[in-house]
Amino acid sequence: MPLHTVLLLFLVAASPAMAQDFDLRPGAAERLRIYEAGGHGMEPGGSADGFLFSVAVPEGDYRVTVRLGDTRQAGDTTVKAEARRLMLNHVVTRRGETVERSFLVNVRTPALTPPPPNAPGGNGVRIDPRDSAELTWDEKLTLEFLGKPVVQSVRIEPVRAPTVFLAGDSTVTDQYAEPAASWGQMLPAMLDDRVVVANHAKSGATMKSFLTDLRFDKLLSGMKAGDWLFIQFGHNDQKVEWPQTYADAAIAYPAYLRAYIAEARRRGAQPVLVTSPERRNFDEGGRIRDTLGAYAQAVRRVATQETVPLIDLNADSRAIYEALGPDVAPTAFNDGGRDKTHHNDYGAWLMASAVAERIRANVPGLATHVTMPAFSPARPPAASAVPIAPSLIRSDQRPAGN
């Protein structure tokens, strides 16, 4: 990297002049301002259950510091960022108490550096109408305050930090609306404020479509030495009825895994392979039926052959569902349990907890950033033990690829 670029990055990350402070106490100017492009303010849809506040910022990573509390009342504040990425869960403050918390948020747009003349490629990620409706692919940082939020102020400043990139499908992506949720959008709450999660996963994605939609190009454009790349595909790759993106488990699928691994390593990043969570199909004996076994086995085999850390979420998800049992397991899934593939907030929290526990055991460089208590897939907590304030945006539409 040229010296002038290094100096510029240092100045951007370190300059206090780049920090922005906002007063979000009830009645303050920022609480009355409506967001307009290029500025800051409230998003539509606020209610007694919470509000959304956006600030126009350039693409990049940001440290957000929030001061919570009120002299007149107690509070219970949950904070999510962008498309419902959980950052802080149930920060309880007594009346008159003030607490300060910080976390890192990745902000991105679809734009890519145009390729040179006559070179293949594109100017941006191929996003669809659903992507456009999300609070992700835009030029602003959006915060959602939920529960019984008591917010005094927000400080936003650029930061340069190690990044955990996520490449995957609907079981990983930041689902934009309740009640669907995925483990990738719960993971930030389980890591400290010295790493940032950049979730590039897409509902309906396969290893091939992630390339052709230029999502992998976008991900790689921000990757640097010392980052991590978590790779989890399989649910859609196995669909023979999708002829343009089908990848057989024996030959094509492991070859694509190796290509992703190679691209991460070429940039000095650490690849991590994740087996796909199983679908919730119980047999008569209360055991989960295998629908992804050949793909999970391919991931395990490549991880061993390429000496890549493995997060065996397929095995952990089976253990979690079987521990909950056929009657309780549906409470961890989208659409009131009618969806057997995609999770709700509770289920996503369980999957993310399993991922975080495997990080602690198998990914040494990232393990020190895990903040959640020890988790056992064989003894998952009840939903009442891990309540998550629901977001304001809701949709009856199933995630793509269902």
| SS3 assignment for 219-266 | HHHCCCCCCEEEEECCCCCCCCCCCCCCCCCCCHHHHHHHHHHHHHHH
pLDDT in tens, the chain (402 residues): 443 433 334 433 444 448 999 999 998 998 989 999 999 999 988 887 899 999 999 999 999 999 999 999 999 999 999 999 999 999 999 999 999 999 999 999 999 999 999 999 999 999 998 898 889 999 999 999 999 999 999 999 999 999 999 999 999 999 999 999 999 999 999 999 999 999 999 999 999 999 999 999 999 999 999 999 999 999 999 999 999 999 999 999 999 999 999 999 999 999 999 999 999 999 999 999 999 989 999 999 999 999 999 999 999 999 999 999 999 999 999 999 999 999 999 999 999 999 999 999 999 999 999 999 999 999 999 999 999 999 999 998 888 876
C-alpha 59/C-alpha 104 separation (Å) is 13
Tokens of 299: 């991931």
Q: What pLDDT is stored for residue 3 in this prediction?
A: 37
**CATH number of 161-402, picked from 3.55.50.30, 3.40.50.1820, 3.40.50.1110, 3.50.40.10:** 3.40.50.1110
Q: What pLDDT is stored for residue 171 in this prediction?
A: 97
C-alpha 201/C-alpha 257 separation (Å) is 15
Q: Number of C-alpha atoms within 13 angstroms, CB side, residue 48?
A: 0
Q: Strands across the sheet with 228-232, in order? A: 196-199, 163-168, 228-232, 270-274, 310-311
- 376 burial (CB, 10 Å; 0-12 / 13-18 / 19+) is middle
> Where along the chain do the CATH 2.60.120 domains lie?
1-160
Detail the DSSP E strand segments found in 251-361: 270-274, 310-311
> Where along the chain do the CATH 3.40.50.1110 domains lie?
161-402
Indicate the residue type of 299: V
Tokens of 90: 């149930």
219-230 pLDDT per residue, tens? 999 999 999 999
Tokens of 363: 């990914």
Please determine, looking at this structure, whether the domain spanning 1-160 carries the CATH number 2.60.120.
Answer: yes
The pTM for the full model equals 0.94
Q: What pLDDT is stored for residue 4 in this prediction?
A: 40
What is the DSSP pairing of strand 50-56 with strand 196-199?
Answer: unpaired
Q: Is 79 helix (H, G, I), strand (E, B) or coil?
A: strand
